[in-house]
């Protein structure tokens, strides 16, 4: 995975601290062209991975990308499914069974209900697989090396102890899409334990990591401990703590944590995108230099006598 | 371990189950639902003992507390039955179809000496908690007027009927959506005790209201406007806000952002003259397990701690939910005069 990944919250008026800002964003990104323009700025800044929900409007964006294969040659999308509000609204309107009937392609669910037959466990895993297929349709022909389960679903299943669906998702994504499964969660330590127990080692997990303890369930300390153990490939999200921390301070904190493979951020303006990329690069460079200095010091102290003996 | 059973594994029920399932001090002893499919999934994948008859569930599993998340019209008979058995109860909002049922349950709960809570989760939102603290401390002086608003995209086209579109089951914007705002105002300022005019308007629904506009009053002379519309698709999800005007300042708050204006040189610690902005991130305590907002986890943790006697148990009691039902019924009654 690339060090910096571009997110999509700003495109869909998701703002964790201000309804006013979210309104402004929804006006700014009313047209798909505004989204593409911002994506192009991100690409020009050296970011080639876009992580996005399976929102209806992403289908349009995918179409634009497909039409210009040369320009988007190195461009990758990490789909995150499902777009939870779509299903939440459907459940309010249609109930759980009605929602499944509406969103699972084909007659599979209807025939299940009509037949009145006893469902066997495999049926439910199959329903999940069909739903994954439905969500993946819009990405046809686009490079999607990692496919994520959204946090509301990951965490709902986690709390319900429905670990088989989490494992089932991982297996299916590998087998059908030849992609790495990823999980978004607000409960990193708990999820990691469950995935490991289900036989998924070193999973890709995207989770809140920030200086102010925002959405880090159980507290920052246990997250930092989990990171030090290096048991998973982490994408840090919500690094600005929902906007509560100044960007430079926030990025310094997260850049200096161990075992964070990627940092996910979203921004609307050219200046913010470029500043964020530069700041992360600056801290990464500093860390690299610090490592080299430390290595050289080690070499000076121990390495030469050893090699002399040899 | 607190032994919990749940009735009604729909949208709210599943959310409660997930949070309860992750709670270190909770054991889920039974789940009751009428959907065969839901029951099968929960039995097979979560390993819960499931029932289709809640009385049988209670008899067999002996829970310390029961969560009731079924359509509103069933709250009264089910909660009454549970109270008879002296079981602690958490029930979804709104509490009952009318205040007569609510007061009866509130009194029964008191007599039974059991913990009772209603799921008005906004009271566990950091910004609204801070609004209450400021108002109760008199930080913006004497309150003269308020505005309580909620908008969201629940019913944005003519569509199929569910219990939410049936007035006899507790559906409609006033009961389902505006109740949140009314409950917040009742808690932050004082219960709404009069309604001078109200309009309950259907936009897409056939049988229930999709929006509520009301001019209301509080005994002390404070006036207020309630403006709620669940057919507003310019909002991505429900947005609830309160504006409170006082002689010494003004508060505007939603679930994310709190803005306070102080006129003079008297203001609480951490604030200054003029506008102040605080974010929910600064005002929210972390939770042990996060699903869909800290407030959902916090209200459940609060209930569990009430059952184990670790807090004073005075948030979202049946008594406070009865007052909210009373305010709702005033607004409903007034609208029929229009």
B274 φψ region: left (φ > 0), alpha (ψ -120 to 50), beta (else): left
**Average pLDDT score, chain A:** 89
Nearest to A78 by CA among A43, A40, A50: A50
- If phi > 0 it is left, if psi is from -120 to 50 it is alpha, else beta; for residue B120 that is beta
> Can you give A1-12 as a three-state secondary structure string?
CCCEEECCHHHH
Contacts with A212 (C-beta within 8 Å, 6 or more apart), sequence order = A241, A244, A245, B281
Q: What percent of chain A has pLDDT over 90?
A: 65
Question: CA of A121: which chain B residue's CA is closest?
Answer: B44
**Chain A 93-112, residues with CB within 8 Å of chain B CB atoms:** 93-98
Higher-confidence position of A25 and B244: B244
CATH of A4-78+129-309, one of 3.20.20.70, 3.40.50.1470, 3.60.20.10, 3.50.50.60: 3.20.20.70
At A127, the pLDDT band (50, 70, 90 cuts) reads confident
Mean pLDDT of A257-286: 94
The confidence score (pLDDT) of residue A200 equals: 96
Identify the weakest region by mean pLDDT among A108-112, A256-260, B167-171, B188-192.
A108-112
Q: What DSSP state is assigned to residue B153?
A: B
CA distances from B169 to A91, A195, B238 (A): 17, 42, 22
B240: β partners: B150
Q: Has residue A298 got a pLDDT over 90?
A: no
- Phi and psi at residue A265, to the nearest 5°: -150, 160
Q: Report residue B23: phi and psi, to 5°.
A: -75, 130
**B159/A93 Cβ within 8 A:** yes
The answer for B 146-185 residues in CB contact with A (under 8 A) is 153-154, 159-160, 162, 164
Architecture of domain B122-287+318-335: 2-Layer Sandwich (3.30)
SS3 B148: strand
Give the burial string for A5-41 (b: 16+ CB within 10 Å, else e).
bbbbbbbbbbbbbbbebbbebbebbeebeebeebbeb
Q: How far apart are the C-alpha atoms of A214 and B280, rounded to whole Å?
A: 10
What span, in angstroms and rounded, lies between the C-alpha atoms of A29 and A13? Answer: 9
What's the pLDDT at A114?
55
Q: Is the pLDDT of residue A308 over 60?
A: no
Every domain of chain B and the residues it spans: 2-121, 122-287+318-335
Residue A165 sits at the chain B interface (C-beta within 8 Å)? yes
Q: Is the pLDDT of residue A128 over 50?
A: yes
Q: Running DSSP on this structure, what letter comes out for residue A48?
A: -
B57 Cα distance to chain centroid: 26
CA distance B243 to B103: 29
Q: What is the pLDDT, as a whole number, of residue B109?
A: 98
pLDDT of A157 higher than 80: yes
**What's the pLDDT tens digit per position in A30-56?**
999 999 999 999 999 999 999 999 998
Please tell me the CATH code under which domain B2-121 is placed: 3.40.50.720
Which chain B positions have a beta carbon within 8 Å of A157's beta carbon?
18
Distance from CA of A27 to the nearest CA of B (A): 10
Tokens for B255, please give them.
């679930």
Find all residues with CB under 8 Å of A103, minimum gap 6, and list them. A87, A90, A131, A134
Report how far residue B318's alpha carbon sits from residue B81's, in angstroms, rounded to the nearest whole number.
15
Residue B227's alpha-carbon distances to B2, B239, B241, B322, in angstroms, are: 40, 12, 10, 21
CA distance B267 to chain A (A): 23
- Which of B291, B293, B297, B300 is most worth mutating to test chain A (most A CB atoms within 10 A of its CB)? B291
Q: Does B238 touch chain A (CB under 8 A)?
A: no
Decide: A6 and A42 in contact? Cβ < 8 Å.
yes
DSSP B225-245: EEEEESB-TTSSS-EEEEEEE
Q: What is the C-alpha separation between B301 and B22, in angstroms, rounded?
A: 11
Shortest alpha-carbon distance between residue A72 and chain B (Å): 30
Give the tens place of pLDDT for each residue, A161-187.
999 999 999 999 999 999 999 999 999
| A88 contacts B289? CB cut-off 8 A | no
How many contacts (CB atoms, under 8 Å) link A and B? Answer: 128
Question: A166 near B46, Cβ under 8 Å?
Answer: no
Residues of A in contact with B289 (CB under 8 A): 155, 159, 187, 190, 217-218
- Residues of chain B falling short of pLDDT 50: none
Secondary structure of A73-114 in the HEC alphabet? CCCEEEEEECCHHHHHHHHHHHHHHHHHHHHCCCCHHHHHHH
In this structure, are residues B240 and B150 in contact, taking their beta carbons and an 8 Å threshold? yes
**Residue A8 is encoded by which pair of tokens?**
């999509």
A300 has pLDDT over 70: yes
User: A258 to chain B nearest CA, in Å?
Assistant: 23
For A198-249, write each residue's pLDDT tens digit: 999 999 999 999 998 899 999 999 999 999 999 999 999 999 886 777 888 9
Q: Are A251 and A281 in contact (CB under 8 A)?
A: no
Which residues from chain A sit within 8 angstroms of residue B239, using beta carbons?
19
Question: Terminal CA-to-CA distance of chain B, rounded, Å?
Answer: 53
| CB-based burial, A152-164: b 16+ in 10 Å, e otherwise | bbbbbbbbbbbbb
Separation between Cα atoms, residue A57 and residue A79, nearest integer Å: 13
pLDDT, position A310: 43
In chain B, the largest separation of any two C-alpha atoms, in whole Å, equals: 63
Of B44, B164, B256, the CB nearest to A16: B256
């Amino acid at each position: 995975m690339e060090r910096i990944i571009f997110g999509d919250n700003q495109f869909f008026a998701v703002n964790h601290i201000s309804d006013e800002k979210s309104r402004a964003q929804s006006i700014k990104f009313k047209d798909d062209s505004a989204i593409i323009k911002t994506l192009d700025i991100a690409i020009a800044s050296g970011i080639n991975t876009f992580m996005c929900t399976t929102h209806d409007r992403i289908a349009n964006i995918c179409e634009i990308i497909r039409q210009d294969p040369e320009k988007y040659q190195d461009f990758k999308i990490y789909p995150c499914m499902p777009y939870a509000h779509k299903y939440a609204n459907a459940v309010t309107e249609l109930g759980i069974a009605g929602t499944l009937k509406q969103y699972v392609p084909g007659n599979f669910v209807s025939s299940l209900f009509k037949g009145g037959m006893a469902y066997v466990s495999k049926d439910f895993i199959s329903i999940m697989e069909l739903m994954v297929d439905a969500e993946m349709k819009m990405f046809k022909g686009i490079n999607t090396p990692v496919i994520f389960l959204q946090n509301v679903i990951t965490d709902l299943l986690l709390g319900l102890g429905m670990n088989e669906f989490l494992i089932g998702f991982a297996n299916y994504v590998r087998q059908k899409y030849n992609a790495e499964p990823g999980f978004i969660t607000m409960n990193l330590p708990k999820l990691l334990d469950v995935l490991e127990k289900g036989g998924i080692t070193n999973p890709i997990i995207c989770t809140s990591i920030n200086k102010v303890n925002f959405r880090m369930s159980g507290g920052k300390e246990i997250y930092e401990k989990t990171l030090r153990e290096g048991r998973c490939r982490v994408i840090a999200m919500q690094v600005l703590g929902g906007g509560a921390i100044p960007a430079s301070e926030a990025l310094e904190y997260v850049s200096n944590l161990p075992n964070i493979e990627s940092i996910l951020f979203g921004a609307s303006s050219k200046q913010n995108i470029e500043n964020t990329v530069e700041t992360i690069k600056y801290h990464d460079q500093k860390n690299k230099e610090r490592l080299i200095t430390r290595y050289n010091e080690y070499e000076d102290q121990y390495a030469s006598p050893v090699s002399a003996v040899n | 371990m607190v032994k919990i059973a749940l009735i009604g594994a729909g949208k709210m029920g599943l959310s409660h189950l997930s949070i309860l399932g992750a709670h270190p001090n909770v054991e889920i002893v039974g789940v009751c639902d009428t959907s065969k499919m839901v029951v099968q999934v929960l039995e097979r994948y979560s390993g819960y003992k499931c029932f289709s008859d809640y009385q049988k569930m209670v008899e067999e599993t002996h829970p310390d507390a029961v969560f009731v998340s079924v359509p509103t019209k069933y709250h009264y008979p089910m909660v009454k039955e549970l109270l008879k058995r002296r079981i602690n109860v958490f029930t979804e909002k709104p509490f009952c179809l009318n205040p007569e049922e609510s007061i009866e349950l509130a009194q029964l709960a008191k007599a039974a000496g059991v913990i009772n809570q209603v799921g008005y989760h906004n009271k566990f939102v950091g910004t609204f908690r801070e609004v209450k603290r400021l108002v109760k401390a008199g930080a913006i002086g004497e309150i003269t007027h308020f505005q309580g608003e909620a908008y969201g995209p629940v019913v944005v086209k003519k569509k199929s009927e569910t219990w939410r579109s049936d007035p006899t089951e507790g559906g409609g914007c006033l009961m389902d959506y505006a109740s949140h705002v009314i409950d917040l105002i009742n808690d932050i300022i004082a219960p709404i005790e009069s309604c001078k005019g109200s309009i309950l308007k259907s936009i897409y629904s056939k049988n229930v209201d999709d929006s509520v506009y009301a001019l209301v009053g509080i005994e002390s002379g404070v006036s207020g406007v309630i403006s709620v519309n669940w057919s507003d698709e310019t909002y991505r999800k429900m947005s609830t806000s309160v504006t409170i005007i006082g002689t010494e300042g003004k508060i505007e708050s939603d679930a994310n952002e709190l803005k306070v204006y102080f006129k003079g040189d008297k203001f609480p610690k951490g604030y200054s003259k003029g506008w102040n902005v605080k974010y929910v991130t600064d005002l929210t305590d972390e939770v042990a397990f996060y699903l869909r907002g800290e407030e959902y986890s916090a209200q459940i943790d609060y209930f569990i701690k009430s059952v184990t006697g670790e807090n004073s148990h005075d948030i979202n009691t049946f008594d406070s939910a009865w007052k909210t039902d009373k305010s709702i019924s005033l607004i409903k009654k007034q609208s029929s005069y229009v």
